[in-house]
Chain A
Amino acid sequence: MSSSTVRSSSDLRPGRPARPAPPPAARDGRPSRPPRRRRKAPERPVRGLVSPQTLSTTHGRIIYWIILVTVVVGFTAIFVFPLYWMVTGAMKSSDELAQIPPSFFPTSIDWGVYKEAWDQLDLGLFLRNTIVYAAGAWLFTLVIDVTAAYALSKLRPVLGKVVLGGMLATLMIPPTVILLPAYLTVKDLPILGWNLLNTPWAIWLPAAANGFFIFLLKRFFDSIPRELLEAAEIDGAGPVRILWSIVLPVSRPIIGVVSILSVMSVWKDFVWPLLVLPDGDKMSISVGISSLSAQMPQNVLMAALVIASIPAIVVFFVFQRSIMAGLTAGSLKG
């Protein structure tokens, strides 16, 4: 759990703050690197498994192109074709869907089925619910985890290590295992006696109790140079102000990663919303569609699935970089 963890997630370094020019973050005693530049510039051909010489021979080039084409075609068939089948399947009539062999293109392009799915499954409601759950979870996660990580990293209170240890220990508990007790807790909150079932709080608050986010944020805050904060302290800034105007601005990369991860995990989650939001008008989109899937004609169901996938795919298009950065950060957690 040392800070040398970051090795490959080089994107996750403090950005440059707008305020006084600080010394660039030096970590692990390594000499500090020059200010961040897009890595595109020195695109020198890095040698991989196969040497450039082999690749430049005619023989090598032919094999390379054969492999390239095979891989592109294969990946498209495996990962894109099912999605194509889903989109076009929605547009086929029930008769056409039952037809053997199936038609590769739908006979008529009929977008009406999407409207039908939207109305019949009440997708507008499910989408709105899911947006509320994801947005709230995101907000709670950021407010609660950023302040906690900042306190643990920079204010270092008495017993801070114990608290951090307790939070990281939860990473070792697989979520499925505490599913039932967590459900019972949400159903009847100890001491307070509140029942959070069918309320958004059942999603928002447990989402904020995320040891991994605390770990990511704390590790990042640890790498912000002390002098920067001390300078602000001498200028009379209190902890809240330091957090708001110094720590947050330099932490934009990690906050982006945590944001994406938290929204995505709520969006994709199935079991937890299935248990804690059982009411028909409170369901998230995944749970809503699957609970109604048995009664739907196949093409309407496919249209509903397409609609449910669109937000995720759009998010992926827009935030691809952060998502990939989050992936490598996640894999290297210690």
Chain B
Amino acid sequence: MTTMSVRGSRRRTPGAVRRRVRRNLTAYGFLCGALICFAFFSWYPMVREFLLSFQKTNFVGPPEWIGLDNFRTVTEDSAFIPAWTNTAVFTGLALIVGYAVPFVAAIVLNELRHAKAYLRFVVYLPVMLPPAVAVLLFKWFYDPGPGLFNQILDLVHLPGLSWLDSTSTALISLVLVSTWMNLGTGTLIYLAALQSIPGELYEAAELDGAGLFRRVWHVTIPQTKLILLVMLLLQIVATMQVFIEPYLLTGGGPENATVTVAYLMYQYAFSFGNFGGGGALGLMLMIVLMVFSAVYLRVSRDNQI
């Protein structure tokens, strides 16, 4: 902007105008690839999402406006309420484990003076695996017979569980995989944040007689408050879109115990051929997630992270 005002105050010679035109043309020449990609694959689909949820799309004729019919269809679906409660419970459970554990892990890792590189490598290893690999691996671990988890339970003389096959444990099983494969991200991000805390703060707190937990409470947490909040919002938005776990592990069963909103959306479109219904679900999910996204945007803008 500064260059513009400087330039505006100057007398414009024909040469300067020509240069500006040329600069703009070059710039848009450079931008055209990105503009085309964004227009087709981001901006247009965003608009289409709104249209889709109010239309009947049958691929034969042009789409037909049907008002709120799609919303009526999906809300009357017997899987609608379970889908939302499961998504909420999944997100909540994933937060309990997936939010606190990485933070504690990061605090501990930050204190260790040995094996740092190894631990950092190991904790991030599952994140590198393609999610489908991790999920299929855990599908085998969940096998009620010779699966790893029941074998471990057996080893400590506990009764085996039926994991994915029971309505009471299916959802928590999905949370376990999801947490296992995503734990590393949070841990390393917190670790980076912890390393920027000046040691003098701890020293001062210690001189004031603060014990270990009070130091965590009064120094570590306030110093990383912002990143904790940002990660909280990002994690909520990410986990609410859970799809691959129910898709590969349970197919939404048993008895809708693991059906999630994203999975139901997929089913509407690709199993029932009802893209309008899927679009309606997508729009509802978007509205919910936008609330968190908006909070995130506000937080990061206010604090200039």
Contact residues in B for A264 (Cβ distance below 8 Å): 128
Distance in angstroms between the alpha carbons of A185 and B137 in the assembled complex: 34
Q: Is B192 an interface residue (CB 8 A)?
A: yes
Distance in angstroms between the alpha carbons of A4 and B305 in the assembled complex: 7
Q: Is A124 an interface residue (CB 8 A)?
A: no
Q: Is B74 an interface residue (CB 8 A)?
A: no
Distance in angstroms between the alpha carbons of A8 and B188 in the assembled complex: 12
- Closest CB-CB distance, A305 to chain B, in whole Å? 5
Q: Are B140 and A302 in contact (CB under 8 A)?
A: yes
Q: Are A334 and B202 in contact (CB under 8 A)?
A: no
Contact residues in B for A280 (Cβ distance below 8 Å): none
Q: How would residues 25 to 63 of chain B score, 1 for a CB under 8 Å from any chain A CB and 0 otherwise? A: 011101101110110111111101100100001000000
Q: Are A185 and B48 in contact (CB under 8 A)?
A: yes
Q: Are B43 and A166 in contact (CB under 8 A)?
A: yes
Distance in angstroms between the alpha carbons of A321 and B136 in the assembled complex: 28
Contact residues in B for A83 (Cβ distance below 8 Å): 125
Q: How many A-B residue pairs have CB under 8 A?
A: 301
Q: How would residues 127 to 146 of chain B score, 1 for a CB under 8 Å from any chain A CB and 0 otherwise? A: 01111110011101100011
Most buried by A among B130, B199, B212: B130
Closest to B118 in A: A72
Size class of the contact patch on chain A: 35 or more
Contact residues in B for A50 (Cβ distance below 8 Å): 111, 212
- Closest CB-CB distance, B106 to chain A, in whole Å? 11
A interface SS class: helix
Residues of chain A whose beta carbon lies under 8 Å from any beta carbon of chain B: 1-2, 4-5, 7-8, 46-51, 67-68, 71-72, 75-76, 78-80, 82-83, 85-86, 89, 97-102, 140, 143-145, 147-148, 150-152, 155-158, 160, 163, 166-167, 170, 172-186, 189-190, 205-206, 208-209, 211, 214, 239, 264, 267-268, 270-271, 275, 285-287, 289-290, 293, 298, 301-302, 305, 308-309, 312-313, 315-316, 320, 323-324, 327-328, 331-334
**Contact sample, A vs B, 14 pairs, CB 8 Å cutoff:** A46-B195, A71-B119, A75-B122, A82-B141, A102-B151, A148-B31, A155-B30, A177-B283, A184-B45, A209-B37, A309-B130, A313-B128, A323-B128, A331-B230
Supplied contacts A270-B132, A271-B243, A309-B130, 5 more A-B pairs, CB within 8 Å: A51-B203, A71-B119, A101-B151, A175-B241, A312-B130
Residues of chain B whose beta carbon lies under 8 Å from any beta carbon of chain A: 3, 23-24, 26-28, 30-31, 33-35, 37-38, 40-46, 48-49, 52, 57, 107-112, 114-115, 118-126, 128-133, 136-138, 140-141, 145-146, 148, 151, 154-155, 180, 184-185, 188-189, 192-196, 199-200, 202-203, 206, 212, 215-216, 219-220, 227, 230-231, 234, 237, 240-241, 243-244, 248, 262, 265-266, 269-270, 275, 278-279, 282-283, 285-286, 289-290, 293-294, 297, 300-301, 304-305
